[in-house]
Amino acid sequence: MQQPIKSALLSALIFPGLGQLSAGYKKRGWLIILINCVLLYLMISEIVQQAHNVINTMQKRGIALDVEKVSNITSSLIDFSSNSYLNSLLIILIISWGYAIFDGYLISGKK
C-alpha cells in the first residue's frame, strides 16, 4: 500500500495522528493525538454530566429506573441538539479528525 494512503487510513479509521506517526512526524502526530483525546474527554465528561443530572432528577422525584421513564425524563431535561457546548466540541472534533486525515495524506507524499 502506498504510504500516503496508509497514513490517511490510519488517521481516518484508527485514530487521528497515527498517520503522522507512521510517516515519521512524531511531534505532529502526538500533538494531533493529544488534541483529539482532550476533545473526546470534554465530550464524554459533558455527556456523563448530563446523565448525572437525569439520575439526580429521577431520584428527587422518586421515579424508579426503567427504560421508558429514563427516556421521558431525558427528553424533558436534555435537548442535545440545543447543547451548544457539546455541538461545538463535536464540530471541532470532526474538523480536527478531517485535518489529521488530509495532513497524513499530504505529509506522507513528501517523503
What's the pLDDT tens digit per position in 43-53?
Answer: 999 888 888 88
- Whether 32 has a pLDDT exceeding 90, the answer reads yes
Percent of the chain with pLDDT over 70: 90
Q: Which of 97, 109, 107 has its CA nearest to residue 13?
A: 97
Instruction: Provide mean pLDDT across the span 64-70.
Output: 76
Q: Check if the beta carbon of residue 89 is closer than 8 Å to that of residue 42.
A: yes
pTM above 0.85, yes or no: no
Q: Rank 8-22, 53-67, 69-83 by mean pLDDT and report only the highest.
A: 8-22
In this predicted model, which residue has the larger pLDDT, 78 or 59?
59
**pLDDT computed for residue 36 by the predictor:** 96
* Residue range(s) defining the domain that contains residue 34: 3-110
Give the DSSP per-residue string, the chain: --HHHHHHHIIIII-TTHHHHHTT-HHHHHHHHHHHHHHHHHHHHHHHHHHHHHHHHHHHHT----HHHHHHHHHHH--GGG-HHHHHHHHHHHHHHHHHHHHHHHHHHH-
Q: Please indicate whether residue 108 or residue 91 has the higher confidence score (pLDDT).
A: 91
Number of domains making up the chain = 1
pLDDT band at 6 (very low <50, low <70, confident <90, very high): confident
